[in-house]
Amino acid sequence: MQPLNVILLQSDAGVAQSLVSALSRSFRSVQQAHSLGDVRASIAKQRARVAILDMETASLTDVEHLSHEFPGACIVCTHRCADEEMWTAALNAGASDVFPSWDTPGIVRAALGNTSNSHSAAA
């Protein structure tokens, strides 16, 4: 069953392609965004329930604003470096989970597992 739409904002083209491929198996629609404005528009217009944001492209303030604007959306943040302090800050800003960019299986599990508006920490 593919019940939800996903929007992906990722700075690394290779990581983005890998995530699109993996997410497409579990979600009805996976769209790549080119900007935070694209993310907002997709959540609002296409009713995307999951946003996967690269922390090198989106700031903590962006995560916080998206979390407040779209309280029903699951926000999964990624980063190429394991930085517990930044990850904790992302969770505090409203992210549902945070993963290294290369952890495709973890990102997919988080997107699938957090679509019911629950917030959990992962590392």
pLDDT at 78: 93
Q: Is 60 exceeded by the pLDDT of residue 3?
A: no
Task: State the pTM of this model.
Answer: 0.85
> How far is residue 73 CA from its own chain's centroid?
9
Distance CA 102, CA 89 (A): 20
Q: Per-residue pLDDT averaged across 14-22, rounded?
A: 93
pLDDT at 33: 93
Q: Is 60 exceeded by the pLDDT of residue 119?
A: no
- Cα dist from 48 to 5, 30, 33, 123, whole Å: 4, 9, 12, 24
Indicate the fold that domain 5-113 takes in CATH: Rossmann fold (3.40.50)
Report which of residues 119 and 91 the model is more confident about. Answer: 91
pLDDT in tens, 33-50: 999 999 999 888 888 889
Task: Map out the domains of the chain as residue ranges.
Answer: 5-113
Distance CA 6, CA 104 (A): 14
pLDDT at 121: 41
Pick from 56, 49, 57, 61: nearest CA to 90: 61
pLDDT at 114: 64
pLDDT in tens, 56-115: 999 999 999 999 999 888 999 999 887 788 889 999 999 999 999 999 999 999 998 865
pLDDT at 115: 56
Pick from 58, 120, 122: nearest CA to 43: 58
Distance CA 3, CA 92 (A): 27
